Amino acid sequence: MGMHAVTEQRRLQLFELDELRLFFYEKARIYKERTKQWYDKKIQQRELIPGQQLLLYNSRLKLFHENLKSRWLGSFKLVKVYLYGVVNLKDERIGQEFKVNGHRVKHYMGAEVNNLNEDPV
């Protein structure tokens, strides 16, 4: 009888552990959903319309550390927006058009930017 009672008690403890585990998984899922909603609410939506002036992020691998050099090249004119965030930009100084990822551009509102004779592609 003592062995049967110990077995039953151990089974109940395992069920309680399972319930606790499921409870905390649910709590973690709720926390993750709420944080995602909070972060998504903070994201500013960018609407890219052909004809806008944009800056292009220079993401090339840098061998030398240049603190004072701007990472943004510009200004470029937006020609067309394709599916999945691809945009077609035109460098009006040389008349060259090229496609880039839409995540690498941001709106430009200002005077002429010095490009330092760099190739944007």
Q: What is the CATH number of the domain that holds 95?
A: 2.30.30
- Residue 101 and residue 57 share a domain: yes
Mean pLDDT of 30-47: 90
Q: Is residue 39 part of a domain?
A: yes
Least trusted range by pLDDT, from 32-36, 53-57, 63-67: 63-67
- Residue 93 and residue 66 share a domain: yes
* Residue type at position 113: V
5 compared with 121, residue with greater pLDDT: 5
21 compared with 61, residue with greater pLDDT: 21
Structural domains in the chain (count): 2
Render pLDDT for 95-107 as a digit per residue (tens, 0 to 9): 899 999 988 898 8
Mean pLDDT of 11-35: 96
Q: For residue 10, give its domain range.
A: 1-43
Is the pTM higher than 0.75? The answer reads no
Q: In whole angstroms, give the CA distance from residue 73 to residue 109.
A: 13
Q: Is residue 85 part of a domain?
A: yes
- Residue 89 and residue 62 share a domain: yes
- Residue 68 and residue 35 share a domain: no
Strand 72-81 to strand 86-91: parallel, antiparallel, or no bridges (unpaired)?
antiparallel
List strand residue ranges (DSSP E) for 9-120, in order: 53-57, 72-81, 86-91, 96-101, 105-107
- Residue 10 and residue 37 share a domain: yes
